[in-house]
Chains A and B, each alone.
Chain A
């Protein structure tokens, strides 16, 4: 895997076209791809338009896509009825710390697994692979007991600390990337007498930047969307993330579709923005096959 491929730059266009009815084929191709995109995007459109409908219109059979009367009430309701900004801040803190842990630690381990030669390295790599496959349900309860014993349930520690101990997926991803970095670069620095950590810090990390950014954006979105772990560990409304906040919002107010859709829009927006900015890193990460 080369750097270029990794970043998705190599995903060019290929299949040749021709013939006298080329323009017809062009229309056909675009029709197909628009249809495909529509299937994925249509639910977003419904989410958005429902959020702008007044309650009476939401409950209309048959449903209509566009609101007859546009209203911002549901957004105002969502922002005032639930402590949205509190949840947002909590989510940002958890996601931010997880990202920090991931970019600090996962490349360290990946470096050890790709560029350092030591006895037991392969065993450790197998351990990384094995943990990627392990159903989290198996470890859920004992880990909960452990955090409870040290009094960390109800805090964000159980949600953040794992990232500082290396996430198998990202270790794997960065390792694969580093394997494609020529050893010569490192050897040269070695000859110059640089310490291993210096080599790692000033040579390896800058080269691994694309893989690090991919890991960071995926970690961010995972932390952003995580549900089960905040559900288990956070027990005070003040510390709720948006996932849990949204879920209990339904619990306390029944299914109020307008405000609910409005909060879903607000909830999805940050992840959406991150995605727009870092799109090529997402696609690059996906192309490695390790992440989705």
Chain B
């Protein structure tokens, strides 16, 4: 859970900027390998890393041809540096689906089709993100999606029931937003801990899609409406100035000063990793599926994927593929996603009782089967498009531009994106 959260609120500029650079740098020392020994370098650390080590041990014990050595290496730039040299430091590694297209395009990911992996159990929204031009380059080990998390205590105090429609959401926001006598916001009905993820979710809930059919569609009517919903219902009523002043006081994500934990925001679109954090933080909290503009749109969200891949410069692709097969096998995946409080990437695991001990987890699990869960087709232009969207969102939250104008400005730029 930690790792996903960190990657979201954190790795940000550093890894995108450097990651690209390091694709090039081929200076990492190559490492000699035994034929039966392969290295699995993973970005996780701490408890998550320990869980992976357990799975590696299980694998090593399950057969006698391959020995996997696990290395916790939380630095994405290092990961890339290794992959761009002639001989890499690892044979299997993990990352997010959003990087897959660009990496596949640079030729640093090994196509997986030849290994005959069974992908029929992976949800459609997940598969969509892993296949680049008809070729499979990575497989899911965990998935993520966003639902409406709420602070039960604050809702009860205001006499609000968890919203199940867009109209109810708007009404709840109104009742849960508090402004003091001087016009300072003291509580926001609906907050954003990740601006882009939250507004994109709202776009889906309005029947929109910001990336339809593999093309950037920033002016998609539903998407614009979603952004507009947030501005009209959250920002405008308190004024953009007051909104941003309040937001300036938000502490670090998932720390003691976390805005949701502190009760500064009553509701927020959040990923499943929050379930563990909220509970461990001793919060009285709940979650409902994202309310839709129409009943058909209820549960609209989008899925992100933690994927496993084999770099092109592996010294032992057969053994690596063997291990990948094991990693994504139902028992291993279940064990892993459970420890991290992440979602599995297999439909057959959705109803598993293993996850029952994580409070409220069901809401996120069910989304795996929901046709309203969207996946992002891999695209080369993602870094640029996301940067432009972030600027546009910011401009809207500043009250500097209307959602229509801000997103039109993004549309004007899409012509120059890398294709």
Contact = CB atoms under 8 A, between A and B. Distances in A.
Direct A/B contact, Cβ within 8 angstroms: yes
A235 B74 contact: no
Contacts of B26: 148, 151, 153-154
Contact of A252 (B10, B18, B27): B10
Given A155-B27, A236-B78, A231 B18 contact: yes
Contacts of A59: 249, 251, 257
Bin chain A's interface residue count: 20 to 34
B9 interface: yes
B185 to A, nearest CB: 13
Interface string B58-99: 000000000000000011011011000000000000000000
Nearest to B21: A232
Given A56-B256, A59-B251, A155-B27, A235 B21 contact: yes
A19 interface: no
Given A235-B21, A248-B14, A252-B74, A151 B251 contact: no
Nearest to B25: A153
A247 interface: yes
B117 interface: no
Interface in B22-74: 22, 24-28, 74
Nearest to B254: A254
Interface residues of B, number: 31
Contacts, number: 72
A187 interface: no
Contacts of A176: none
A141 to B, nearest CB: 11
Interface in B230-271: 249, 251-257
A151 B28 CA distance: 9
Nearest to B10: A251
A288 interface: no
A118 to B, nearest CB: 40
A55 interface: yes
A4 interface: no
Contacts of B10: 250-254
A252 B46 CA distance: 13
Given A59-B251, A237-B78, A251 B21 contact: no
Contact of B24 (A148, A247, A248, A252): A148
B6 A252 contact: yes
Contacts of B21: 144, 232, 235
A82 interface: no
Interface of B: 6, 9-15, 17-18, 21-22, 24-28, 74-75, 77-78, 80-81, 249, 251-257
Given A55-B257, A254-B255, 9 more contacts: A144-B21, A153-B27, A155-B27, A231-B17, A235-B28, A235-B77, A235-B80, A247-B14, A256-B255
